[in-house]
Structure formats: C-alpha cells, structure tokens
Amino acid sequence: MLRFLPLKLGRLYRCLKLLLVLGLSVVLLMNTHTLFASFQKNELTDRRFVNLNKCPACFGTSWCRKFMNGQVSFETWGRLRFLDMFNVKNVFFAQYGEPREGTRRIVLKRLGSNQELADIDQKICKRAMYKTEFARLNGDVRLLTPDVVEGWSDLVHCPSQRLLDRIVRRYAETKDSGSFLLKNLKDTERMQLLMTLAFNPEPLVLQSFPSDEGWPFAKYLGACGRMVAVNYVGEELWSFYNAPWEKRVDLAKQLMDIAEQLTNNDFDFALYLLDVSFDNFAVGPRDGKVIVVDAENVVVADKRLIKQSERSFLLYLRSVRFA
C-alpha cells in the first residue's frame, strides 16, 4: 500500500500544476483586451493613474512634465495591471529617457500599499488631518517646529530644529529650495511636504541626506502625484546569498561601514535603520557598492542636541550640588 503512495502524490501534484496552468490561461484569455491595451498605452501619462488629481495631498509635482511627455514608461511586466495584486509594496521598474542621454532604468514607488493610500484618503475626506496637525502649519507659520511634528513618522520620532530646518531647506519639490523658512513655500508645496512627512518620509530622507554628498542612499529624482521616482541601484542584496565567499565578505564589510557612517559623521546626525532586511539594500553592478534602497523607517538623532542636553544636565546637577 505504501509503495503506491509516492505515485499517487506525484499524480496529484501534476493535476494541481495542470489546474494552475489552466486557471492562468483562463485569466489571460479573459483579460486579452486589457493586456493588449496595457502594452499599447503608457499609463504613466494618465493624471488619474499617478494620482495627480489627489494633489496637494500628494508627494510632489517636479517630474510631472516628464511623466506627461511620455519620458517615463513601465517595463514589460509593469504594464500588466492584473499583476498589481502581487505587488503589495507598489514598487515598479520603469525606463526614463532623455533625448540626448538615452534611456536608463529607474524605480517608481507609491510609498504605500493600496490600503494605506485609501486610509489616508479617508482621513483627509474626514478632514481630521486638516483640523489638527496640518491646520497649525498653514498661513504665516514661520518654521517647522519639533513640538508640532514630533511622532508623525520615524524620521521625526525625536526631531531637532536643526533637522527640521534641513528637511525644509533641502525640499526638492519646490522651485525656491534653499530656505529653511516654511512660510517661503507655497500652500500646495507645504501641504505636499507635510503629507510626505506624515505618510512615508522616505523621499525626505533621500533629499536631506543625498547620495551626491556621499550618503549611502538611492538618489531621489522627483515625483508626480503619488508616484515617486528614484535611481535604480542594482540587484537586491538577497541575490548575492550564494555568491563567492570573498564577495559576501566584501558586502558584509560594506554593511558595517554603512552602519558606522550613519552613526558617526561630520554632520553630527545619527541615522538608525529600523527595518534591516535583504530587500532594503541593493548592490551596484559596476562598482559593487551597497546602497540603502528603502529609507522609510529611519530614525534621525541630532547628536549636537544630545551633547547640549548632556551639558545642560551636568550644569544643573552642579548647581543643585553646590546650592
């Protein structure tokens, strides 16, 4: 009896595989028209697809001209909308083209799942956010201050005024960047900054600590509606799991160097990654450099503020002691 068990299991496995293939074939046949339409149309030129109609409750508009001109397009599999059910993180690979520079690969992010985006829409519709946090930052408010935004996201879990000034000054979704004064931003730009800070601050991390200055993050390119574009780095770290021993040692050394750089640097900001996984790192194909490609969960501590607080506390203890 037992000798026939593997044979039965083999037949069952083949039947299940056949049913799966048939099921996928039926789905493809039912969506034939949609498939052809997906390959023929560049959905990234659709204002509603990139949620440009949601602005100013969006992430920015600096790249909208490139999107609307058709300079950004999904790669092959990214054009198939029925595959979105498997793309929970809403991360897509795309091609970006410039007339003189040719095309290159980039990464597009919605910065959240469909459910998370629906939840933020619901909150906005109920005007809960406008009546509380956002309302206090409209009008003639001069600075973005810690007492208002503390705890909105990991980036501002323990913010200092110096960090917030840096975020505003380096905000890339405004034409007049360079000022740390919140009041110098337009109302729409201010709303976009606050929306990004509260929902997913990854773009602000990439802007405030840019790769051009040596920070180990992917380069921020721009945004249109609720679609953010960042530079494509390379294969994710997990793909090197079976690489030669020397390569794995080099990658491990680079990870430790990243931790050291984020903790001790000339800017006196300590950045702590709260979500450390293979998926959040990528390796450049040419230089083999490890880069952080998911910076949503990053806590930033101002070491100057910590030192200042320590000195103030010591002075207080001395005053109490000799009182």
Task: Decide: helix, strand or coil at residue 284.
Answer: coil
Could you give the C-alpha distances from 60 to 214, 235, 263, in angstroms and in order?
A: 24, 27, 30
Q: Between the CA of residue 306 and those of 16, 84, 148, 302, what are the distances in Å?
A: 60, 44, 20, 6
Q: Could you tell me the pLDDT band of residue 122, with boundaries at 50, 70 and 90? A: confident
Of 148-152, 186-190, 275-279, 316-320, the least confident: 316-320
Query: Is 60 exceeded by the pLDDT of residue 135?
Result: no
- Give the residue-averaged pLDDT of 13-24: 73
Rounded Cα distance, 220 and 205, in Å: 9
